[in-house]
Amino acid sequence: MNDSEEEEGYRGPAEVAVGALPAVTVQVQLAGNFEPISGRYVWHGRVRTLTDALGEDADLSPGTELRITGPQGTATARITGVDLWGSHLIDGVTPPPFSRV
């Protein structure tokens, strides 16, 4: 990957809301890039400790939408799975909550 193809993104605290549950502040790692084949900007990421913050009863199954608010805006993403460390993997649905250079 050369410098012009490097992923842009954000790593740090963000407020995350799922459905009608109260928003919680957790650590996120978000990245995105322009996909030349589809001709659009795509972003994805990881939300850490979401189950701990919302509780075991929260529906955090694949397909669940959540709102992420970071220092540069709010965006909607969809949960796609859980990694080996219990973090929720997400794909962006709306424009990202971070600046694109």
Mean pLDDT lowest for which of 7-11, 28-32, 87-91?
7-11
Looking at residue 1, its pLDDT comes to 41
Which run of H or of E encompasses 89?
A: strand 88-92
Domain boundaries, the chain: 3-92
Looking at residue 2, its pLDDT comes to 43
Q: Which two tokens stand for residue 50?
A: 């979401």
Q: Which two tokens stand for residue 38?
A: 């589809």
pLDDT digits (tens, 9 = 90+) for 14-72: 999 999 999 999 999 999 999 999 899 999 999 999 999 999 999 999 999 999 999 89
Q: When comparing pLDDT for 14 and 1, which is higher?
A: 14
Q: Is 85 exposed, middle or buried (0-12, 13-18, 19+ CB in 10 A)?
A: exposed
Residues paired with 76 in a beta bridge: 67
Q: Which two tokens stand for residue 56?
A: 């075991």
Looking at residue 100, its pLDDT comes to 73
Residue 4 has pLDDT above 50, yes or no: no
**Residue 30 CA to its chain's centroid (Å):** 6
- The closest of 66, 67, 94, 68 to 79, measured between CA atoms, is 66
As assigned by CATH, the class of the 3-92 domain is: mainly beta
The answer to whether the CB of 66 falls within 8 A of the CB of 77 is yes
